[in-house]
Amino acid sequence: MKHILIVDDDADCLFQLKLQMSNLGYSVTALESQFLAEEWLEDSEPDLAIIDLMMETEDSGFILSRGLKNKYPDVPVVILTAVTPETGLSFDLQTSDSQQWINADQYIEKGLHQETLFARIEQLLKL
């Protein structure tokens, strides 16, 4: 059974993602902050991580993703965020510079149809 780490400070989003991933047959750890996730990652390795961008700080997701990738380079990371509608800022993984800076395998805006999100997760897990 694949294990997914979900980190999001939005309790509703965290609950929904955890429920959906569990219903798809994944084992899930759901945490509410960068800090809690960093503690969990000290002793645990997920098969995939879904991380919100803005939590304690505006770049918590980027910081967490970078730390996770430094420790576990082969673990796929999905940044799932609503930053563009909230701030007008936009990010992508289209250039090697942005890939290095963002340090994630997928960058997805919240509100994406759940089947599309699930398909991307399965693709990253190569199921």
Query: What are the structural domains, with CATH classification, of the chain?
Result: 3-125 (3.40.50.2300)
Tens of pLDDT, residues 44-59: 999 999 998 878 877 7
**pTM greater than the 0.75 cutoff:** yes
Question: What percent of the chain clears pLDDT 70, i.e. is strictly above it?
Answer: 80
Q: What is the pLDDT of residues 43-98, one digit of tens each?
A: 999 999 999 887 887 778 888 999 999 999 999 999 887 654 454 455 554 545 44
pLDDT at 115: 85
Tally of residues, the chain: 127
60-71 vs 34-43: helix crossing angle, rounded to 10: 10
